[in-house]
Structure 1
């Protein structure tokens, strides 16, 4: 790698690591102020939120930019990570995916019991709304828009809908145009919704223009589709030691990998990453930090796919 490129990658890594440290400290701050909530419930929340890629919060931070209010960005990032963590707790439940491993550790229900896991997820969702509703230094309209983003991503056109379709499939009343449409819709609801929420929240906090926000949403949508395909590939071609979570969870499900095969899934993932990069460039944001983040997230998921190239090679 060229020295200048190495220097830029190092700066990007340092910036991301610094943000993650600040985010983790802020997460602990919010969780430490839940008393008099039951100690076991707080412990479960701390355990569930104690690790993770922090992709969505960092994406929010990058889109918001350096001119945005740092305190508001950090708190909104915490709220978004709470929603994400709550969704993982629910996904892992015995009545859902029945997973035992998440982020390299026992799932919340495996460690604390199913009832406490459910209550923890509900508590995190409520806390996320409370944080967003109390963000400092914002106009009421901005604050309301951010609350609406969180409530929307949780609900009937977001995670709830995606999980229902993922578990139970489409009914006759759900109009679809074939396998690709069904897969794209589930991926958009389960994975893309949170990434788009991160982008949209960052755009509001950063005061982005409407044209920028439209392109950034396209970036989030394409990134979400690519992420789910990469995750499906990792699920089938890796093991739990590498992914930090239960593998082979999607056997029998209608995924892009299952329908079109590994080669086409990898090609599609690369094409979506290239399209996301084009949208990012169109929005006028510095692509460097985004590209570094995307490579760091995607390559570990793709490196076990035969002949996989770095995510940046798709550009």
Structure 2
């Protein structure tokens, strides 16, 4: 385990507690009909998780005492993330059985309920943005537009279908560049949305917002490499989810020898730090998060810990 993980969790616990409370507030009560749907929404969303995406929004916004609207905006990426996990786990997708140490939503309830739960959470994400009264109209438009791109065919949806079609048996000639692009659509776009949204809330624009976007892309690549290592080297109990799912897929682990992979990690860490400096945030919580999450693993990649 990363030696900084416990300290990181302690430092961020007040913000995480605020995020958890806000997520629960956003959900309809389980005592309201349709009961199964609302219970499934609570089940899927209010489970143990790092809440990394909301934290990225808050850190990019630079506010450790967030306003109600900023806190709600930070929760948007977690609503979308949870919806994507529910769909990713379905029998017609990855056919997973375990998520965050509990049965997947489609197993705990039913496939139809799981699909509708994902749709409801995704719909809620857009509603949360629209309901933030303190946001300037143009900021709302920018955030909603970015979210539609994040979810759509050039984002999470496109990443999911590319991942389903990703097979070493079908594409032995897969390139590192194409796999990194798949990683971006599958994972990086939501990190980018979460971080850039925080930058918008901070008032960043132009080159600084572009630099923050590039930072998020680098962060997403590091995160996906870690996730691949977790899938390859961890037990189900350690990961809290099914492992070995990527055995037949083209990944950076399958395409790059260890030394080159370490070089990719080192280069991407450098890029992330440089982009934060270009955004004027080199001393921010974002820099601390990068150092705590990934720097130790540069020395021992197999020590990557679960954070999904």
Please classify the TM superposition score into its range, dividing by the shorter chain length: 0.7 to 0.9
Determine which structure has greater relative contact order: mean sequence separation of CA pairs < 8 Å that are 6+ residues apart, divided by chain length: 2
Q: Using the alignment, how far apart are the partners of 2:64 and 2:290 within structure 1? A: 23
Tell me if structure 2 keeps the 8 A contact 1:60–1:201. yes
1:27 aligns with 2:31: no
Which residue does 1:137 correspond to in 2? 134
5 Å-filtered alignment, 1:143-292, equals 143-169=140-166, 179-287=175-283, 289-292=285-288
- Residue-by-residue CA offset, 1:97-128 (whole Å, 9 max, x unaligned): 11111112111112111111101000000011
Question: Could you tell me how far apart the structure 2 residues matched to 1:183 and 1:250 are?
Answer: 13
Report how many residues are paired: 295
Long gaps (5+) in structure 1: 1-5, 171-176, 311-315
Q: What is the TM-score normalised by the length of structure 2?
A: 0.87
Runs of 4+ in 1 over 2 A off after TM superposition: 12-15, 32-37, 66-69, 261-267, 286-306
For residues 35 and 65 of structure 2, what CA distance do their matches in structure 1 show?
Answer: 35
Q: CA deviation at 1:295?
A: 4.7
Question: Root-mean-square deviation (CA), in Å?
Answer: 2.7
**CA drift at 1:56:** 0.7
Cα shift at 1:14 = 4.8
2-structure distance, mates of 1:309, 1:164 = 26
TM-score for both structures, normalised by structure 1: 0.85
> Relative to structure 1, is the Cα distance of residues 259 and 109 closer, same or farther in structure 2, using a 3 angstrom cutoff?
same
Q: Work out the CA distance in 1 between the residues paired with 2:84 and 2:38.
A: 17
SS in 2 for 1:59: helix
- Displacement, 1:131? 0.7
Supply the distance in 2 between the matched residues of 1:119 and 1:58 (Cα, whole angstroms). Answer: 27
**8 Å Cα contact 1:233-1:302 kept in structure 2:** no
Secondary structure of the structure 2 residue equivalent to 1:188:
helix
- The question of whether the paired residues in 2 share the 8 Å contact of 1:229 and 1:265 is answered with no
